[in-house]
Structures are given as structure tokens and as C-alpha cells.
Structure 1
Amino acid sequence: MEFNFQQYFNRTFPFWNRITDSQKEEYIQNSFLSNFKKGQFVHDPMGQCFGMLTVYKGQLRVFIQSENGKEVTLYRIDEGETCTLATSCIMDEITFDVFIEATRDSTLVVTNSSYLNRVSEDNVYVQNFIYKQTTEKFSSVMWSMQQILFLSFDKRLASYLYDEVIRTNESSLVVTHDEIAKELGSAREVVSRMLKYFQKEGFVILERGKVEIVNKDAIRKIAIES
């Protein structure tokens, strides 16, 4: 079945009814679907200015990486959400480099960056949408930085586990120690050591590629206690 860009944009973008019919037609002409496998890079600092990414299916992870390869996850982009950081070439205010990868098999709706540049200059509603999306994501970035700078690792790990249980509505999390380390900007060995402590205390059960939360209240208490 052919993808209906008109219907999708109408229910996804609040600015859609604020642009002209000719702008809508050109917007659709400058948009396309792109598929990515789990773990595949969608954007990196050395790549071209891709465009605005909206997740139709799947999920993206936005992260930064140090020179020695250490990663810190800034935030995730879920279905129906938009990522504007791959449009840094049209936003002078974005002065740092990010990586974007697919954390699941994903289908993205991509809108060409050069067209976005033109239409955002002509239409304040499109411009406001882009800046609003960027501002909201920077709030997530600041939250991530606060976690890293001001919380002990046991609290950060407990907070991550509890948030994942709430987000997925599952007590069994399919995730590796290495993936958790990338999320939290830590070393795999540190994650493994703390998870083993949680297991010893009866909070979790560890299996290969899986963390089973058996005492959600205890995990929550560690995450929120001062």
C-alpha cells in the first residue's frame, strides 16, 4: 500500500494547515521514506545534512561520543516524534555534533533540509515547530547531563531500569550490559558490578541479554531517595 504523506503530515505536524497548498505539495515532493536496521547509523557528524527525521515506525537514539569511543545517550525518538538535530546545517544555533542510530528496525519520514530551510524562512509556523522541537530535546539533554553530573551511579542505574519498566510496561527488559553502559555514559564493567549488587539484594534477576525486575518498589526507592 502506497504511503499517504498528506494524511500522515496532517495528523503529525501542527503547522500543516498553516501552510499553503503549493507549500504542502512541495513539502511532500521533498519528503521520502527511509528504512534502517537496528544498530544502523542514521546520522553522524561526518555525514551530510540529512534533513528533519520523523519516526513512522521504530525508535532512534541520539548520543554523543568521546574521542576514545565512550558514548552518552542524550535522548530517544519514538514513533510519531521528530528529530531536528540532523538539520544542523540550517540551524546556526546547533554547534555540537551528535550521532543518531536506529535502536530498532525503523522507517523514517525524511524531509529534505534545503527545502526546510526555504519553507521555514517563508512560514513562521514551520519555523516555530522546528525551534520548539529543538528546545524540547535540549531539555532532555540537560536532564541527561544532570543525571551524569549530580547522581551516584546506583541512582542513575535504578532510575534507568525503573523508567524502562514504565516505558515498556514490562518487568523483563531485553537489554545487554553494554547497551545500558551506552545509555548511561559509563563502562560495561561498572554496569555489570552494580547489576550484580542489585541481584544480590534481590532487586533483579540477570540473564544473558536480559534484566528481570523482581522488586520494582525497591528500584524506585533507590532512584528517588535523596
Structure 2
Amino acid sequence: MTSHTNAMPTPQAEAQRLESCYPVLGALSASAHARLLHSAQWMRVPAGAMLFDDRQACEGFPFVVEGTVRVSKCAPSGRELPLYRVGPGETCIISSSCLLGHEDYNARGVTESDTLLMLLPKAVFDEMMAERPFRDFVFHLFAERIADLMQLIEEVAFRKLDQRLAALLLGKGRVLHVTHQQLADELGSVREIVSRLLKSFAEQGLVKLAREQVEIIDPSGLRRMASEGRGAA
């Protein structure tokens, strides 16, 4: 975790919130439970803060109690491919794999909103892995995240960008207050290409464009486009 996050004490109320988000902690042995709470490093982090970055050492295992962390793979050109988000009750498999494999981070984590999290130091994480409930919890969510990442790989490798953009626009309401750059970031593309595709969508009567806004005009048409046959991305 980067040094600009602000440490805070571990009040009883925050510990209760932690266990409500992560019930598995209540299944730990009494000694392990006490060890975990005693070692907990609480942090309240503002939106837009970088929690970790590529080639940075992993110092601990984060438990998100409030807010959301976006984990992305970044290219030297500045382009990003969002991998997944970590919300309350979820885990970061990049952190898990780095701790288990004694490797540095190979992705970037940034808070999307004001975030409250508890960082479990690496040494204590290693101890907790000896507790079966905790170990099962980590590997169960690890498996779920891997499945999500495999789906993402399939999307990027086999679906054309217009299909992926159509799918991204659906399910977010009739009017999306979003910039073309934000959509490009979600897709791991560049703003110019996304803007060109949106203009094409508008010409087809699928959407109506305004400043930092996309209005869905023909959702059924977008669904047809999103479900078209596979093609090169």
C-alpha cells in the first residue's frame, strides 16, 4: 500500500463492521481472531488514491469495509485494462497471489470512492492461512475471481470493440453520465476509437450523445449488437 493512506485506530465499531462484511473471521479460533484484530491496520483512503502499483512490494492483505477499489493492468502508453473491482466482503486476488507467491504487484489498485479498509500484515496473513476457515475463504474467492478474469480474457480476445461497448452501455439506466474517456478506460481502449464508435451508434439511432452523457435510444438494437457473432477485437 502506498504511504499517503492515513492510518487510524481500531475502534470496536469498525471491528464489528469488519466481521459483518467478512463473517468468516468469526469462524477463526479465539487466538487467531485476537491476533488478527490486534494486528489490523485500519486506513481511511480518499477517492482516487493509488493503493498499490506495478512492481511495488505487497505489504499485506486488504479487507474492504466501505468503498470500492478498482484493479487494472496498465501499459507504458498509459492505457488501462480494468480487471475487477473489490468491494466490501470481497478480496483482491492480485494481493493474494503476491503474498502467496512472495512476488511484487503486477497491477494497479485505485480507490473509486472514499474507502475504509483493514490491512492485514503479510506475516499475520501467513499465520491465518493455517486456519482452515480463512484458507478456504481465500481460495474460494480466488477461484471466483479467476473465473471472472477468464471471462474478461474471452471478451477482449474474441469480441469486437463495438460489441463490448454496446454491452457496457446496457444495464446502466437510460441516461449514462459518463465521458468517452471513462468508457475507453472501462474497455481498455483509447478515447478516439470509443468516440468514433459512439458517433456511429448515434448515426444508427441507437444512442443520443451530449456532453458527458449518453442516452440510450434503442436498447434492443444495442442488445442485438452486443450478442452478434464473435470476431477479432
Kindly report the root-mean-square deviation, in angstroms, between the aligned alpha carbons of the 2 structures: 2.4
Out of 215, 218, 221, the residue aligned to residue 221 of structure 2 is 218
Percentage of matched positions with identical amino acids:
27
**Structure 1 residues 194 and 99 mapped into 2: Cα distance closer, same or farther (>3 Å)?**
same
Do structure 1's residue 92 and structure 2's residue 101 form an aligned pair? yes
Q: Report how many aligned residue pairs link the two structures.
A: 220
CA–CA distance in structure 2, aligned partners of residues 89 and 192 of structure 1? 37
Runs of 4+ off more than 6 Å: 93-96
TM-score by length of 2: 0.83
- Cα deviation, 1:20-71, whole Å, max 9, x if unaligned, reads 1121111112223322333221111233313222332222211111232221
CA–CA distance in structure 1, aligned partners of residues 102 and 123 of structure 2? 17
What residue is the counterpart of 1:128 in the other structure? 136
What residue is the counterpart of 1:186 in the other structure? 189
TM-score by length of 1: 0.86
Q: Secondary structure at the match of 2:31?
A: helix
The gaps in structure 1 that reach 5 residues or longer are none
Query: What is the CA-CA distance between 1:118 and the residue it aligns to?
Result: 1.3
**Structure 1 residues 127 and 99 mapped into 2: Cα distance closer, same or farther (>3 Å)?**
same
Which sits farther off after the overlay, 85-94 or 57-66? 85-94
Do structure 1's residue 176 and structure 2's residue 184 form an aligned pair? no
CA–CA distance in structure 1, aligned partners of residues 73 and 53 of structure 2? 10
- Cα deviation, 1:6-25, whole Å, max 9, x if unaligned, reads 42343333432331112111
State whether residues 162 and 220 of structure 1, in contact with CA within 8 Å, keep that contact through their aligned partners in structure 2: yes
What residue is the counterpart of 1:156 in the other structure? 164
Q: Secondary structure at the match of 2:189?
A: coil
CA–CA distance in structure 2, aligned partners of residues 27 and 112 of structure 1? 9
Q: Secondary structure at the match of 1:4?
A: helix
Q: Secondary structure at the match of 1:154?
A: helix
Out of 79, 91, 116, the residue aligned to residue 125 of structure 2 is 116
Which sits farther off after the overlay, 86-95 or 211-220? 86-95
